[in-house]
């Protein structure tokens, strides 16, 4: 229970990697705020399921609906967590979307939506989470980037740009906050089994697998294990880093 007594917030925690991260942190003793936004059918039910799973495992969780692209909503969410539990120790910036298209066909809305959800949300959540972290002189900021932010990806100029921005943002936060005993790191997943990858055709899946040294897609739990390590005291001397977890795509 190496995270016992810690308070964590995971954004976009109702599904996929966010769900796996929330469950992993809870299994290590952290109280977890499960953030979701109710703009897609099933999101609230999925968030309820995450909370119920944590409670069933003798953990403690709090469901919070908040649009992390909105500053007032994020401020209110942080206030709710501090009121409920007294502090925030771990922030996992996981919320993210894709709006894929070739650049010549990409709409301004598709660009703006991805930037707001993937990058602006991290700015807002980190800004408001840092206030209690600075006071307590301890904190972990972990952002879920992507290998697309390091390598680029055709058809994902918006997504890749948002994740590259998230990496630079993380490195800058690490430089600003190191003296306060607050670390900031990013994880860069490759192709992970989520609802997005489930919708790929067999032909596309075969093509992707040919690029992966381990010849398989990753599991959300693989990412969760890495996030949990970075959140722990075992990673106390690691900051400003980007850790790829991609089965060997980016070697």
Residue 173's CB: how many other CB atoms inside 10 A?
A: 24
Q: Tell me the average pLDDT across 64-86.
A: 97
Q: Are 64 and 40 in contact (CB under 8 A)?
A: no
* CATH code for the domain in which residue 234 is found: 3.40.50.720
Quick one: pLDDT at residue 83?
Answer: 97
183 domain residue, yes or no: yes
Residue 243 has phi, psi (to 5 degrees) of: -110, 115
Q: Are 144 and 126 in contact (CB under 8 A)?
A: no
Q: What element of type H or E holds 140? A: strand 139-144
Catalytic amino acids?
159
Q: What element of type H or E holds 76? A: helix 71-85
> What is d(CA 114, CA 92) in angstroms, rounded to the nearest whole number?
18
205 domain residue, yes or no: no
202 domain residue, yes or no: no
Q: What element of type H or E holds 7? A: strand 7-10
Query: pLDDT of 185-243, one tens digit each?
Result: 999 999 999 877 777 788 888 888 999 999 999 999 999 999 999 999 999 999 999 99
Task: Count the domains in the chain.
Answer: 1
251 domain residue, yes or no: no
Query: pLDDT of 131-167, one tens digit each?
Result: 999 999 999 999 999 999 999 999 999 999 999 999 9
> What is d(CA 59, CA 80) in angstroms, rounded to the nearest whole number?
19
> What is d(CA 126, CA 129) in angstroms, rounded to the nearest whole number?
5
Q: What element of type H or E holds 32? A: strand 31-36
How much is the pTM? Answer: 0.95
Q: Tell me the average pLDDT across 39-50.
A: 86
Over 80: is that where the pLDDT of 42 sits? no
Task: Give the CA angle between residues 77, 80, 84 to the nearest 5°.
Answer: 145
Tokens of 126: 């980190």
Sign of CA dihedral 95, 98, 99, 102: positive
196 domain residue, yes or no: no
142 domain residue, yes or no: yes
Domain of residue 90: give its range: 7-191+219-245
């Amino acid at each position: 229970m190496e995270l016992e007594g810690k308070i964590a917030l995971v954004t976009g925690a109702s599904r996929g990697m966010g769900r796996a991260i929330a469950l992993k942190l809870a299994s290590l003793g952290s109280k977890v705020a499960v953030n979701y936004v109710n703009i897609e059918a099933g999101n609230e039910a999925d968030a309820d399921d995450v909370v119920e799973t944590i409670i069933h495992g003798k953990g403690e969780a709090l469901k919070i609906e908040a649009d992390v692209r909105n500053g007032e909503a994020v401020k209110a969410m942080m206030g709710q967590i501090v009121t409920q539990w007294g502090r925030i120790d771990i922030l996992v910036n996981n919320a993210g979307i894709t709006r894929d298209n070739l650049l010549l066909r990409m709409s301004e809305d598709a660009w703006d939506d991805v930037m707001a959800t993937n990058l602006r949300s991290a700015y807002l959540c980190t800004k408001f989470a840092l206030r209690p972290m600075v006071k307590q002189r301890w904190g972990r900021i972990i952002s879920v980037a992507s290998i697309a932010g390091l390598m680029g990806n055709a058809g994902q100029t918006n997504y890749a740009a948002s994740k590259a921005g998230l990496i630079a943002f993380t490195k800058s936060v690490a430089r600003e906050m190191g003296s306060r005993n607050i670390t900031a790191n990013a994880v860069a997943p490759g192709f992970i089994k989520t609802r997005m990858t489930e919708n790929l055709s067999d032909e596309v899946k075969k093509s992707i697998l040919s690029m992966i040294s381990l010849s398989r897609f990753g599991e959300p739990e693989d990412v969760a294990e890495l996030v949990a390590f970075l959140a722990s005291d075992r990673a106390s001397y690691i900051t400003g880093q980007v850790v790829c977890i991609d089965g060997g795509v980016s070697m």
